[in-house]
A and B are shown apart, each in its own frame.
Chain A
Amino acid sequence: MGVILFGIGLLGTFYHKNAIVVLMCIELMLNAANLNFVAAASQYGDVSGWVFTAIAIAIAAAEVAIGLAILLSMYSTQETIALDAANKLSN
């Protein structure tokens, strides 16, 4: 089930051009990995899987905050959040 969620999130990341939806699909992929961590931890009786999951949740929260900050500053300069418009570095 973790693989299914990861695959759907991956499809969504490549598919959408709205930056917020891409961020949400990245969150989906992170949740899929957390599912695998917890399942392995509960099956083998090892609590390290839970610790990894907690660390991954915290890092995902930090990454969403920074991603949205970048998005908001892109919106304030370019008035759009379509990822097609993020081509300032190309010629």
Chain B
Amino acid sequence: MAFDFEALVFVIVAGAAVAGAFGCVFANRVAHSLLWLMLTFFAVAGVFLMSNAEMLAAVQILVYLGSVMLVVQFGVMLTRRRILDTDSLPTLNVISALTGIGVFAFILILLREVMEHPMWGDGAGTAPSTVDFAGALFNEWSVATVILGALLAMAMIGASYLVRDERLINLLWDMGGDE
């Protein structure tokens, strides 16, 4: 029987992404919403794989799941007063709910207007390959890549400066004093 496995896999992956997003927003504890977000990132990497973007799926898993979520987890661990803290309960009132629904509806209307533009013809070419991606990144978009590297360096230096520890005890310990 002609069963479209690709559509089935897409439905599963998309469902996992949406479920992870809902779980992230409506979880009671911060650590739980972090785990739901990791599910979403996995599902998004799956969608990348289905679009023949293997390199981007690997980058997504490495960067988001491996670094971003780790850093956020450190943030969660460093800012808990007690383990059972439920600070993340949302402050729901009518205004925020209406605002959220209104913005969502506005985005859907905008999307429909954009999709009716005649520019979006049928998909023309075949999917590019990873070699094309590497070539584009370093030849056509080389300036952007260099600027991105500089931006990341600035971000890391800034973050390190923001979390510096200037307490005298720790400075003395760093310098090897016996005080």
- Let me know if B172 is at the binding interface, CB within 8 A: no
14 A-B residue pairings within 8 Å (CB atoms): A3-B111, A10-B100, A10-B103, A11-B25, A21-B88, A34-B44, A39-B51, A43-B123, A45-B128, A50-B133, A60-B64, A65-B156, A68-B74, A73-B162
Complexed CA–CA distance, A42 and B124 (Å)? 10
**CB-defined contacts of A70 to chain B, threshold 8 Å:** 162
Complexed CA–CA distance, A25 and B144 (Å)? 26
When C-beta atoms are compared, the residue in chain B nearest to A36 turns out to be B111
**CB-defined contacts of A24 to chain B, threshold 8 Å:** 24, 33-34, 37, 72
Which positions in B face A, CB cutoff 8 Å? 14, 17-18, 21-22, 24-25, 30, 33-34, 37, 40-41, 44, 47-48, 51-53, 55-56, 59-60, 63-64, 67-68, 71-72, 74-76, 78-79, 81, 87-88, 90-92, 96, 99-101, 103-104, 107-108, 111, 123-128, 132-133, 136-137, 140-141, 144, 148, 151-152, 155-156, 158-160, 162-163
Tally chain A residues at the interface, Cβ within 8 Å.
Answer: 62
**Contact (Cβ within 8 A) A64 B53:** no
**CB-defined contacts of B103 to chain A, threshold 8 Å:** 7, 10
CB distance from A54 to the nearest CB of B (A): 6
Which positions in A face B, CB cutoff 8 Å? 1, 3-12, 14-18, 20-21, 23-25, 27-28, 31, 34-35, 38-39, 41-48, 50-51, 53-55, 57-66, 68-73, 75, 79, 81-82, 84
